[in-house]
Amino acid sequence: MLKIGVRLFPRVNYRQVVLTFPEQLRIPIHHHSNQKRLYSGFGLGGSLFIRVDSGAL
């Protein structure tokens, strides 16, 4: 098994973040016809939020 540190950029501090969906959206998201695109959009939105909140932008 490859360690994640081997895949990342040197001298960059990384943090794990868990983004959750409200309970009301879990079933519609689970049954969405294009989950890859949906999750990609949520991931990009979450990433943007974290950057703005941390002052990285």
d(C-alpha 41, C-alpha 50), whole Å: 14
- Per-residue DSSP letter, 19: -
Look at the alpha carbons of 22, 48, 57, 3 in this order and tell me if their dihedral is positive or negative: positive
Contact call for residues 49 and 17 (beta carbons, < 8 A): no
Q: What is the pTM of this model?
A: 0.51
Half-sphere exposure of 19 (CA within 13 A, CB side): 12
- Measure CA of the first residue to CA of the last residue in the chain; give whole Å: 34
Instruction: List, for residues 6-45, the tens digit of each pLDDT value.
Output: 667 777 777 777 878 889 988 988 898 998 998 888 888 8
